[in-house]
Amino acid sequence: MFQPDLLKEKVVLVTGGGTGLGRAMAERFVELGARLAICSRKLDVIQETAREIAQSRQGETFAVSCDVRDPEQVAAMADAVVERYGRIDVLVNNAAANFTSPTERLSHRAVDAILGPVLHGTFYCTLEVGKRWIAAAQPGVMLNIVATYVHSGSGFVVPSAVAKSGIAALTRSLAAEWGRYGIRQVAIAPGLFPTPGAMGQLAPTAEIQAMFQAEAVKRVPLGRVGDHSELADLASYLISDRAAYINGDIITIDGGEWLYGAGEFNGLSEVPAEHWDLLTEMRKSLKPRG
């Protein structure tokens, strides 16, 4: 399926595309023929990323400085991309922020530090690009990056859980409302895909990061973390014409982690085989009732 021209001539805008998963997706999009635009607050970072992608992937890449928390900057970013490429075909809402904390320790400023770029930024970009598509009668695709805890909630990252759940609701709601315009909404809920930026925000020291990752892997039935290329391939499929009938769905890619945590008895996978042998023998000795 992943032919070199899968995304040929599609203009793809990736927010937060300078590092981490955003960069991994951006690189893959270019490999598959997309004309790429990436944005971030840090212009020097995305300019360097754009230069490296253009050299290594031999594809057109455009860097735009934008703080997605500011709707005026979002509008200016969209103008710049349209001026460069003539249009936008795909919007990938990837810009994010997160940190761990007991919720009772949070101030309203700490809450806003997450809701601003994650929920408000995604909504602002969605509105800006969506309105342009509707006015021009142009179809398009919006891919939102959420998290597995949109299914379950999660302690210690409550602002992120609230923001990502809001994006999940946005994805499903606009799938129903904007589908008539030929605008598709899809989302990815990644599990454990370590990046230096995310791990640094969630765990402040290398020791804590190693402990966090080791404990997290124990909850993954497949027994490993995700590879960035796996998520990038999923994203490429979802924004391609091969996924043209997928609208409003949230695809989880986590090796089964959230399902493992949701099942009441899944923790019994830690029970040694000899204990199961003992339980089997005990059941054999029980007399049937009635």
Instruction: Kindly give the pairing relationship between strand 11-15 and strand 183-190.
Output: unpaired
**Catalytic site residue 149?**
yes
Q: How far is CA 10 from CA 35, 53, 102, in A?
A: 6, 16, 43
Give me 50's structure tokens: 């754009």
Q: Which of 70, 51, 71 is nearest to 61 (CA)?
A: 51
- Token pair 């990252």: residue: 157
Q: What value, to the nearest 5°, has the Cα angle with vertex 91 and ends 201 and 109? A: 35
H/E element holding 114? helix 108-115
Residue type at 252 in one-letter notation? T
Give me 197's structure tokens: 């930026």
Contact in structure between 247 and 181 (CB atoms under 8 Å)? no
Instruction: Kindly give the pairing relationship between strand 90-93 and strand 61-65.
Output: unpaired
Rama region for 187: left / alpha / beta (φ>0; ψ in -120 to 50; rest) = beta
Gap between the Cα atoms of 138 and 287, Å rounded: 71
Gap between the Cα atoms of 16 and 36, Å rounded: 13
Give the DSSP letter of residue 263: S
Cα dihedral 254/258/259/264 (nearest 10): 150
Q: Say which of 85, 149, 237, 245 is annotated catalytic.
A: 149
3-state secondary structure of 229: helix
Which residues are identified as catalytic?
149
